[in-house]
A and B are shown apart, each in its own frame.
Chain A
Amino acid sequence: MTTILGVPTAALFGQLLLGLINGSFYAILSLGLAVIFGLLNIINFTHGAQYMMGAFVAWMLLNWAGLGYWWALLIAPIAVGITGVILERNLISQLASNDKIRSLLFVISAILTFLLCYVGIGWSEGTSLAAALLVGAVFGAVWAHVARERISTAEGHVDHLYGLLLTFGLALIIQGLFRNAYGSSGLPYQIPRELTGGQNFGFMFMPNYRGWVVVASLVVCLATWFVIEKTRLGAYLRAATENPTLTQAFGINVPRLVTITYGFGVGLAALAGVLAAPIYSVNPNMGADLIIVVFAVVVIGGMGSILGSIVTGFGLGLIEGLTKVFYPEASSTVIFIIMAIVLLIKPAGLFGRAA
């Protein structure tokens, strides 16, 4: 057996591949966080919960509707993205508004609907949650239509502190509901038939599905980069990130752009969740710990550059994989240690602009 530095190559490359897979999740998630942060000026703490929701929607599609992996890859990001849009419209964007009634109406009608469906009718947590979100969204939209004269969405950014606390609360709710419904042990999700098996390269064995995850993530990341940097929509988005007031003055509907952006970022998280479902078991806690690592990734890379987040994400995944081979005890802390070192040497992050 060939070895490198006393480690069998098969084990080394196996761990590197696993690191690359983790890195692709870091990249997709930190990309979503960065896009959302750029426009909304909030750190989306719910991101981990939305990643988990993506995996669960895939599981539900398979077990309830008989729709397989490929359908899930399409439907789950859209479904989770829609819930994100509802939350953004009714809660997050209302943080900056002078009218609190819409968000209150949303919260109260959602809670009442949830209790009615869950306790009254006896639906499951997931279905009740979906119903609650829909009813809340209807009430919120009706109120927004009725009171549109009185509402002036305040200019400028939301205080980031409240954005963080709000999305943290939402994450607690979503994770709590799923933990209640499915326990903490995790549900199995099969690798799609087309991607079972693997390739033997001689120096290592690569399961097809793992290769697919890396390639798919790279494609998704590069497509996102292309949309933001090279298309008209992306140009609007960058303009609104730079100066929302001026962009609005040019006749671009910035609030709608914000909503689309949030929905898109959330959809990315859900997509990562679907990709992760066959590798890790579908588990209510799968996003909670991951999102904190992604925060560290974001601090290391800085949120200034799209390509920067992609490179940082994959790079840190690889480093984590290498650590697992040579010093496994440190594998769960190595990213945090790198974060500390980066803070000492280049506080703005590797690709960040100094504040």
Chain B
Amino acid sequence: MKAIRKRSNAPIFWALFGAGGMLSALLGPMLVFITGIAVPLGLLLPADTMSYANMLAFSQNLIGKGFIFAVIALFLWHAAHRIFHSLHDIGIHAGTAAKLICYGGAMLGTLIAAYALLAIGF
């Protein structure tokens, strides 16, 4: 009487979602403040904080590269999972199509970020 059950592959997406959620909760507000408020308005931070030279050096540093990649990729996977489940909640059960668009978008963003970070050199 016990049915054969298919193992869910959800842990992969759930783990990326969880990691992205943790990261965005910890870093998101700080990043919005620095990049969107403090630097444009010239508050608190030196004027050249986000100058091209500084940002280029940051993205060419191995740790800086890792940081940028983690922030972009994990935020995207978090958003993709949240949007996919919210669609389901509001009654749009697009199934595979919605899955492809949400997670495909995150995957595409991840690949572009990885490519750009490698292309910019070390």
A and B from one complex = no
Write the residues of chain B forming the contact surface with A, with a CB cutoff of 8 angstroms. Answer: none
